Structure 1
Amino acid sequence: MDWNRIEGNWKQVKGKVKEQWGKLTDDDLDQIQGRREQLEGKIQERYGIEKDRVKNDIDSWYNNQKW
């Protein structure tokens, strides 16, 4: 599954994202709407971690999903 499919299936994927990053609110997830850059920014904001680490964390999460 590529990221475009995540955007298209965002309603189904939101739960998996919230399981991984529980500090993200439902409002955050609604604003993100599956856009990776928005997800990265919100994770940085909520968790206070640097951009490169967020990118690696998302890649790792993405690759571990059972689509």
Structure 2
Amino acid sequence: MEPQNIEKIVNVFRERVDIPRFSRAVSLEEIADNDFNLNIRRYVDASPAAEPRSTYGRRCSAAYREVKSKWK
């Protein structure tokens, strides 16, 4: 692990900072409600942010036109 990543984790822990897709402070009650499961995904959604649909649509349309033009 890179030193800057370690530093970020330590700082977030010390300061108890909530950062979307990275960290969230949870209560013992919430942990108990999850049967004391400490799996990070139970508490933090770390999945990549969705690409805006307009950008996705433009890329798909461009790719479709390119493929279609090659098959004529």
Q: Which TM-score band applies after superposition, normalised by the shorter structure?
A: under 0.3
Name the TM-score, length of structure 1 as normaliser. 0.24
1 or 2 for the larger relative contact order (CA 8 Å, sep ≥6)? 1
Using the size of structure 2 for normalisation, the TM-score is 0.24
